[in-house]
Every structure is written in C-alpha cells, then in structure tokens.
Amino acid sequence: MPMTKPLAALLAGTVLFMPAAGQADPPRRDQDAAFAAMRTGQVRPLREIEGRVLPRMGGATYLGPEFDPGSATYRLKFMRNGSVIWVDVDGRTGAIIGRSGD
C-alpha cells in the first residue's frame, strides 16, 4: 500500500499538465515556420543562406539562426571577440539586408 499515494500523486500531476480537449497547440517554433516557408517555396533553405553568409564573417563563431515568418527574414547570430553580431538576410532572395554589432 505505500506505493499507492506516490503513484496517485504522479498520475494527478500528469493530468494537470495535459492540454484540455480542443485546446490550441503551442505556437510553432522558428524552425517549424522556416521549414514550412521553405517547403512551399517562399524562402530559400537555411543551409543556402548560411553558405552565403558564413564565409563573409571572417573568424566569427556562428551561434545559430532565428527566422521571422512575418517578414520572411533570417537573423544569423555570431560572436567575435566578446561581441555579438547579427546579420539579417532576406529569406526570399538570400540578400543581406542588415547587420549590427561587431
């Protein structure tokens, strides 16, 4: 019988964290939105964007991308000498449209 209470507590906690029937799914992540836009031809693949930008960053460490589905832009994050560098890229054309930091 000692296992009954902990098991009941575990099951009760599980039920509390389950979404209610009909509840909306959590918001899609950047990579899901980027993949969907790429699959439908709205933006270029991330690997292509990275292939254009990374060689221009002269020794900066690439930390990763973000994607804004509203503007169809990628934002690539780099670090060099303790400074963060953001490079904004038009996902449709692959053109660099902005840069901050350095």
Residues 72-89 have a mean pLDDT of: 96
Q: Is residue 54 part of a domain?
A: yes
**Does residue 14 form part of some domain?**
no
| Residue span of the structural domain in which 74 resides | 30-101
| 3 occurs within a structural domain | no
Average pLDDT over the chain, rounded to an integer: 78
Better-scored residue on pLDDT, 17 or 92: 92
- The reply to whether 4 falls in a domain is no
Report yes or no on 17 lying in a domain.
no
Q: What is the CA radius of gyration of the chain?
A: 21
CATH number for the domain spanning 65: value is 3.10.450
Confidence at residue 11, expressed as pLDDT on a 0 to 100 scale: 43
18 in a domain, yes or no?
no
Please report which confidence band the pLDDT of residue 24 belongs to, taking 50, 70 and 90 as the band edges. Answer: low
**Percent of the chain whose pLDDT exceeds 70:** 67
Which of 24 and 76 is assigned the larger pLDDT? 76
Does 19 reside within a domain?
no
> Cβ contacts of residue 42 below 8 Å, gap of 6+?
72, 91, 92
Residue 77 has pLDDT above 70, yes or no: yes
Claim: this prediction has a pTM higher than 0.95 = no
The answer to the question of residue 48 being in a domain is yes
Paired sense of beta strands 83-90 and 73-80, if any: antiparallel
Total structural domains in the chain?
Answer: 1
